[in-house]
Amino acid sequence: MDGKECSRLLKVAPNVYHALKHGNAVVALESTIISHGMPYPQNLETAKEVEAIVKQNGAIPATIAVLDGVPCIGLDDEQLERLAKLGSNVRKTARRDIPHVIAAHENGATTVSATMFFASKVGIPVFVTGGIGGVHRHGEQTMDISSDLTELGRTPVAVISAGVKSILDIPKTLEYLETQGVTVAAYRTNDFPAFFTESSGCQELDFDDEPYEL
């Protein structure tokens, strides 16, 4: 995406645009955890801390959100604080919600699926988050399956996470990811994590029962 398209369709922060243009490392970050994950000011402190960690490791953080109907790839301190103070008044925005939020000139905090969508549009190949969505318990009856899983199967962005949320049906989530053609790899372990815990009891990778270390 060139500069003209960026200014017309979405807003890319100058440091993010410069890094992408010169082939430097950029890491996408979601914004739902800021608006819906915790109260102010802890949410703002956490957002800044995460961005600082990305910077310390030599990459440019690009927190993604929709502000006043404009998708923003990379937020400055003022925008981060605005999002943090608005909290749950900001619409939680998955991929399906993007057209409505933009057309209504609303504020939207992007979930995993929406963050991946926007990251892909501007050429950010890596996205870091906490826990992704998955198949809910009794999902075979309710069909309650997060759009995160479908997005992982069709959008070329590598997602680094702490696995899926522990309240979900993790074995069915892994089966669904396989159906979507999603490669799942664990770092220095063969156990699939469950957000708050290192192991979910599921072993996604099977190489003669030996852990596959990246």
Catalytic annotation present for 5: no
Burial 22-54 (b: 16+ CB within 10 A, else e): eeeebbbbbbbbbbebbeeeebbeebbebbeeb
Q: Looking at 30, 81, 151, 204, which residue is catalytic?
A: 30
> What is the bridge-based pairing of β-strands 70-73 and 11-12?
parallel
Catalytic choice (11, 51, 151, 165): 165
Q: Are 2 and 36 in contact (CB under 8 A)?
A: no
Residue with tokens 């990459």: 59
| 175 annotated active-site | no
Instruction: Classify the C-alpha dihedral 119-121-124-125 as positive or negative.
Output: positive
Tokens of 122: 């501007």
Percentages helix, strand, coil for the chain, rounded to the nearest 5? 40, 20, 40
Catalytic residue annotation: 30, 165
